[in-house]
Chain A
Amino acid sequence: MMRAKGLSLHLGGRAILDQVSCTVRPGQVTVVMGQNGAGKSTLLQCLAGSVGADAGAVEVDGQCLAALPPEELAAKRAVLAQSVHLSFPLTVAEVIEMGCYARYQQWTARQRTARIDHYLTLLDLQPFRDRSFPTLSGGEQKRVLLAKCLLQLDADPAAPSGNRYLLLDEPTAALDIGQQFRFIDLATSLARKRGLGVFAVLHDLNLAARFADEIIFLRDGRVLASGPTHAILTRTTIRDTFDVDCLIQEHPHYAGPLITTLPYERPYFAPA
């Protein structure tokens, strides 16, 4: 279990995070939502160990995150960045291979190639193997980066390690609506299958409703509400988080809610 306790971070006199606590459980998907600037990405970077908080701490399976050496941390959690710009082009296979840099010496070249091939096939990327990464479309690039993250969290058959976590920072940004759905579906199902704990920053309420086990609503660096998706995804929490009213219906095609946001008018409801 990955657990943040009372994280606070102030930058330039402003509270970016204020007493934020949250939990990421193995095999489950925790989604954080909130307005722009609410502190979602900062919270994710704190969980990743890339940003240090002023107060509070992050624990990974009972160990203090800040005390873990970077190589060990790399085997425990992987981060899918919001956007990646390569300063010089690499091929798809070379980008994916970075996932095993932390244990480069432990694997032979043959083993590395086999693992890369495994993830190329798994994510349907074999035709792109030797393509230059920057020439790929946004959706393809995301899949390559996901493959890199999964390789980074690849369980070592020789030494089965503890729990592992996948942190997704706005994974759907810059993807078209079809890709958004497919990518989250792919990432969460692969993660669940491997027992990875997923922590994702998302903006789409319906994607969150469909794929999250738990949702955390952040506003101005504070946790407004958090809990299991079905219980927490209510008109009140959405309005308090985003200042947006919405219509929540039963989804016609699968069990769960269908949320329609109503940013300006409230024709369907009396004011709360």
Chain B
Amino acid sequence: MRSFSAVFFALIALLSLTLLGGVFVGAYELAPAELWLALTGQSTDLQQFLVWQVRIPRLLLALLVGAALATTGAATQGLFRNPLAEPTLIGVTSGAMLFAAAAMVLSFRFLAAAPAWLQQGAVSVAAFCGALVTTGLVYRLASGRGRVNVATMLLAGIAIAALTSAGTGLLIYQSSEQQLRDLTFWTLGSLGGARWGQVLGAGPIILAGVYFLHRDALALNAFLLGEREAAQLGFRVQRVKRRVIIWTALVVGTCISLTGIIGFVGLVIPHLLRIWQGTDYRRLLLFSALLGGSFLLVADTLARTIVAPAELPIGILTALVGAPFFLWLLLRERGKNALL
């Protein structure tokens, strides 16, 4: 077991490197000297705008969203005691999807004359509400007599996801070509719309979420033994479950509302760290945040550079980069002690 601080600083270094790389690389190429001038406000307005208003907020949003998705992924896997668990399973994603689709289709009818930012805003707000509403519903379905049954919640989440995807399908059936295209791109995610407003809006929620989930690290460790065992170790398990679910819904709802659905981060990053660093949640949550941030930053940098000046949806990149690496890791670990 490597020491905590060594890994921590390695991940911080990785994050700094990816941040630096992200500022450099882009459709509009900047020489190091130009970048320095732009950063210090001594270059042309265009370059300054590009660096300060486009690139940097986008990098920060990628970092925040990556951290959020990886941390909540790790937390839900612990809560559900299931390696396949993801925030998707508690209804966050499916609900956001349904509401976002509804907003896209309906805004075309009722907000057709409205400016683009209002239409975009309507989709974001709808997605956020959808995430919270469906999670709330799944939570209610799984709770009775003051207890939440996580196994029921898992199954209820799957049932609700099927229902909402039927609703989404109905909306797709109704939608125009353009809406269908928008919707498809939305499900593949994009950080293209990132501005300071989003960073400043999402930042506090995501950072608070990561902080509060990290505060429940010991309880999540105890949950690995089972709920009853966690209670016998002195935890108030019902409160822990409620906190984890609420923060997950809030944080993931925020992310989805700003970037659409970005898959795979919540699954691959925590498992990667488990294989490398072990499961102890005191390390896992923090490291997931750092590595998830770096990972999404790299994926987004690739997304906006490989087909520049166009952009690939980031969901394609996260799967394309993440899946083979994850498979390689699994195959490498297959012969060793059963780890997963």
Q: Which residues of A contact B (CB under 8 A)?
A: 45, 48-50, 70-71, 73-75, 77-79, 81, 84-91, 94-95, 98-99, 101-102, 104, 130, 132, 134-135, 152
- Number of A-B residue pairs with CB-CB distance less than 8 Å in the complex they form: 83
**B229 interface residue (CB < 8 Å to A):** yes
Within the complex, what minimum Cβ distance (angstroms) separates B95 from chain A?
26
Question: Once the chains are docked, how many angstroms separate the CA of A132 from the CA of B72?
Answer: 25
A50/B231 in contact, CB under 8 A: yes
Within the complex, which residue of A50, A71, A102 is in contact with B228, where a contact is CB–CB below 8 Å? A50
Within the complex, which residue of A74, A89, A90, A134 is in contact with B233, where a contact is CB–CB below 8 Å? A74
Return the 4 tightest CB-CB contacts between A and B, nearest first.
A74-B234, A102-B234, A87-B81, A88-B279
A48/B1 in contact, CB under 8 A: no
- 20 A-B residue contacts at CB 8 Å? A49-B232, A50-B228, A50-B232, A73-B234, A79-B232, A84-B226, A86-B225, A88-B77, A88-B83, A89-B337, A89-B338, A89-B339, A91-B278, A94-B278, A98-B221, A101-B218, A102-B234, A104-B218, A130-B1, A132-B339
Known pairs A87-B82, A87-B83, A132-B339 / 8 extra A-B pairs, C-beta < 8 Å: A70-B234, A73-B234, A75-B234, A86-B225, A88-B274, A88-B279, A102-B233, A132-B337
Total interface residues in chain B, CB < 8 Å: 28
Nearest chain A residue, comparing its CB with the CB of B82? A87
B222/A98 in contact, CB under 8 A: yes
B residues in contact with A135, CB < 8 Å = 337-338
B77/A101 in contact, CB under 8 A: no
A residues in contact with B274, CB < 8 Å = 88-89
Residues 301-340 (chain B) with a chain A CB within 8 angstroms: 337-340
Within the complex, what minimum Cβ distance (angstroms) separates A9 from chain B?
15
Q: Which residues of B contact A (CB under 8 A)?
A: 1, 77-78, 81-83, 218, 221-222, 224-226, 228-229, 231-236, 274, 278-280, 337-340
Question: Once the chains are docked, how many angstroms separate the CA of A90 from the CA of B231?
Answer: 19
Within the complex, what minimum Cβ distance (angstroms) separates A37 from chain B?
19
Within the complex, what minimum Cβ distance (angstroms) separates B58 from chain A?
34
Within the complex, what minimum Cβ distance (angstroms) separates B52 from chain A?
42
A residues in contact with B338, CB < 8 Å = 89, 134-135
A residues in contact with B225, CB < 8 Å = 81, 84, 86, 95, 98
B residues in contact with A130, CB < 8 Å = 1
B218/A88 in contact, CB under 8 A: no
A78/B232 in contact, CB under 8 A: yes
Within the complex, what minimum Cβ distance (angstroms) separates B276 from chain A?
13
Question: Once the chains are docked, how many angstroms separate the CA of A50 from the CA of B232?
Answer: 7
Within the complex, which residue of A81, A90, A134 is in contact with B278, where a contact is CB–CB below 8 Å? A90
Nearest chain A residue, comparing its CB with the CB of B74? A88
B280/A71 in contact, CB under 8 A: no
B1/A81 in contact, CB under 8 A: no
B residues in contact with A75, CB < 8 Å = 234
A residues in contact with B83, CB < 8 Å = 87-88
A residues in contact with B81, CB < 8 Å = 87
Nearest chain A residue, comparing its CB with the CB of B339? A89
With A50-B228, A70-B231, A102-B234 already in contact, the answer to whether A88 and B337 are too (CB < 8 A) is no
Within the complex, which residue of A74, A88, A95 is in contact with B232, where a contact is CB–CB below 8 Å? A74
> By CB atoms of chain A within 10 A, which of B224, B228, B232, B274 has the most?
B232
Within the complex, which residue of B218, B228, B232, B279 is in contact with A90, where a contact is CB–CB below 8 Å? B279
Within the complex, which residue of A77, A87, A102 is in contact with B224, where a contact is CB–CB below 8 Å? A87
A101/B280 in contact, CB under 8 A: no
With A50-B228, A87-B82 already in contact, the answer to whether A98 and B233 are too (CB < 8 A) is yes
Within the complex, what minimum Cβ distance (angstroms) separates B145 from chain A?
11
B222/A101 in contact, CB under 8 A: yes
Within the complex, what minimum Cβ distance (angstroms) separates B212 from chain A?
17
> By CB atoms of chain B within 10 A, which of A49, A94, A99 has the most?
A94
A89/B234 in contact, CB under 8 A: no
Within the complex, what minimum Cβ distance (angstroms) separates A43 from chain B?
15
With A48-B232, A74-B232, A132-B337 already in contact, the answer to whether A88 and B222 are too (CB < 8 A) is no
A90/B221 in contact, CB under 8 A: yes
Question: Once the chains are docked, how many angstroms separate the CA of A84 from the CA of B229?
Answer: 9
B residues in contact with A70, CB < 8 Å = 231, 234-236
Within the complex, what minimum Cβ distance (angstroms) separates B77 from chain A?
7
B residues in contact with A85, CB < 8 Å = 226
